[in-house]
Structure 1
Amino acid sequence: VSLLWFCLDKNTTLGQLQMNILLIYWCKDGPPRVSEKVAHRQTARIGTAIKLPCPVEGDPPPLIMWTKDGRNIHSGWIRFRILRMGLKIKEVEADDTGTYICKATNGFGSVNINYTLIVIGECRWSSVLRPRFTQPAKMRKRVIARPVGSSVRLKCTASGNPRPDIVWLKDDRLLSEQEVGEGRQKKWTLSLKNLKPEHSGRYTCRVSNRAGEINATYKVEVIQRTNSKPILTGTHPVNTTVDYGGTTSFQCKVRSDVKPVIQWLKRVESNEESRYNSTIEVGDHQFVVLPTAEVWSRPDGSYLNKLLITRAKEEDAGMYICLGANTMGYSFRSAFLTVLPDTKPPITAMFSPASSSLPWPVIIGIPAGIVFIFGTVLLWFCQSRKHCPPPSAPAATAQVLQSSHRLPYRERDRGCAPPSSSTEKDCMSSMNYEEYLAQQQLLLSQGGPTLPPKIYPKIYTDIHTHTHSHVDGKVHQHQHIHFQC
């Protein structure tokens, strides 16, 4: 079909037409066709990027689909990106070697472009590891309820060797690129935005490589906007009594179409307001917000929360409120806690109130100082009792006499008194008894100092007679007399 546009100049007169051909456009309906010549054999090095073109055109425009070795390439192949005019592969790996087909289809037919990709520098994997989830803590909550219009993110981050592929399914049906998110580089998280009731279902992520496959399933429930506020079911919280220092808890059960906010409050008495930095007003009373534990969902659709009170004291007694709220309002219920008085006897102070006002170093230092002074005086008195006056000269002489009588038999035979000093000579001397008496008389006559008297309890005389015969026939005889003190 050919189209021809004409333009009439407004200045032309009647009967004169000036035709200007502006554009002639030829188009023809039919199946897709290849518009350019391509090289069907492609090579790439490990770690590089490569683009496989798919130059096709047609009227109506064809739908492009890529396959590798008979498997459809989809958004779960995180290194593969389907573009309008080709397929781009990032960080080429050895396993990317294979046959790739670009198939273009419209209402009149289809056309294929085949490629054989050869990866240069192909090497075997040093170790093959099956896939595993790398963030299991973020995957614990598998049942998720969200109101209409909200959003949710489902995570399935995994690793393996070789790098695994991931696909998402909803109720065992493979999700399309439009549903998963076309053109997204990160496919480990499935984001569902602006939720509608038809989004409810079971979502499964399937992660696989040549070493194995793993999967995880989430249950998503999209509920209509609630038109009622939460309802506290059962009888909890109830009035409770606890011993002083004991442990108790309050329990609160709330039913709501969506997960509510459960908060515990404690009423502040008029004389306790100064103890808290901030309070809120509920009705005609002031309340303080208490730390709240995690809210647990139950199989019957209700939600449970507990408030734990440990080491109960008198100031813990009072009114407690469980408050459950959602977008439509709130409900609450109150209960009272009674703390029994402490049964332990109070500790009696050792000092009077007047002395207790003194600082503790003074209280301890005064008795310690008194004890120290008394001990010093007592020690001095005991030491003074041990010192005695020196003995007189006669007493010393008598002591020497007594000691001489206590000498061993061997010493008494020698007639020796114990020496008074290290410089005193032994009583054995070449001086005889007469010479000793003469010396003592001389000292007395001169008036000089006398030596301390020496005691000689026994005197022995030893006479030896020696006879000597000479050559000339004479005989000589003499005696030796020895005095021993």
Structure 2
Amino acid sequence: GPPRIADKVIHRQSVRLGRTIKLLCPVEGDPPPLTMWMKDGRTIHSGWTRFRILQQGLKIKEVESEDAGTYICKATNGFGSTNVNYTLIVIDDASSGKDSQVPDGSNGEYEDHSGKQWARPRFTQPAKMRRRVIARPVGSSIRLKCVASGNPRPDITWLKDNKPLTPQEIGENKKKKWTLNLKNLKPEDSGKYTCRVFNKVGEINATYKVEVIQRTRSKPILTGTHPVNTTVDYGGTTSFQCKVRSDVKPVIQWLKRVEYGTESKYNSTIDVGGQKFVVLPTGEVWSRPDGSYLNKLMITRAKEEDAGMYICLGANTMGYSFRSAFLTVLPDPKPPSAPVPPSSASSLPWPVIIGIPAGAVFIFGTILLWLCQTKKKPCSAPAAAPVHRPQPRDRICVSQVPDKDCISSINYEEYVAQQQHLLSQGPALAPAMASKMYPKIYTDIHTHTHSHVEGKVHQHQHIQYQC
């Protein structure tokens, strides 16, 4: 998870001048966060010789008055960042006292009428001033020290080649500049730098010779162990980190190897070491105190296709370097169920689901019933209400002539007897007669109403068959 403060922090710290202090940065996280320190908004780096960044915090040796200020420890990992803030107060035991005139001809200590002791200036950190000839490459930084004490407290001025430096060159503020900071050195910064320290009792000075050397630039170098092989749960979040050392700010890029057969998924690829890679989006490049540069790649909602080889590539105008690591994505513990095809029942309304089988059954039953009726009754007359039928007067006519039809008036019982008689004649006669007679069967029901004088009404129905 993101970094978090693991212990109580006392945000206000104090230290005596010339002592050593350690500011802790009690943060933890998974993965372990990287930390960087800042003082008054400026990043603390290796050029700050009295400052040392440790795993547990920041150590300041031989504290000077100008070390007072606001310190921030910023801890960052792939999930976020958090800050630990400090206010450092430097206590100076030397008393300034009121200004008093030193008697003429006095060149040592002097005690005024109140018994207060006066002293000429002296350097308090002579061991830090032994190296008076310093060579630095272009673009680097240097700190020239002239920390001194005295009573009254002395003043200091800086000169380059015996010419006073301007306040802009010194970066002077309300506090006395006991240390001269020269940043981003250029060849014209070479020369002799002298500090002149004085008070009303006396004066001292020290001179440094600074030589700025043109640097031979080289390609970036990947430092540390990052990126490292990583395993992540399906749907989880992880990150790769990359630390690059370079003379100038490098371009840091993340690449992912294109697996065989998936080239068509990407619009463009690049070749690195004989393999094809796709360029991934890159976040902010962070400057580290040790002069290196840091970048991270976030992978969220990891899927199977995220697994594979990743490369951190650092490049500048002199060349490039890269290092690879592998990401393993664990299988999904809950694989998705098989997708339902569009033509499944879920895509149809219930009335259609019920109506189609019911309609099919109804049609099939109707056809089956019709076939059964056809086999039982090849020719049947429509049902009629019971009526009075006259006695048969005409003969049964069975035409033997193919092109001649005859029409006879018969009752229903006679027609059935006729059909049974035809079927009993054997297979030779039946098909011939059936093919002539069945297609031309029709019924014609005539209803005759006779009215008699007596007011009685008689109805007669005649059924005619054409055969």
| TM value normalised by structure 2 | 0.32
- Larger RCO (CA under 8 A, 6+ residues apart): 2
TM-score (norm 1): 0.31
Q: Which has the larger radius of gyration?
A: 1
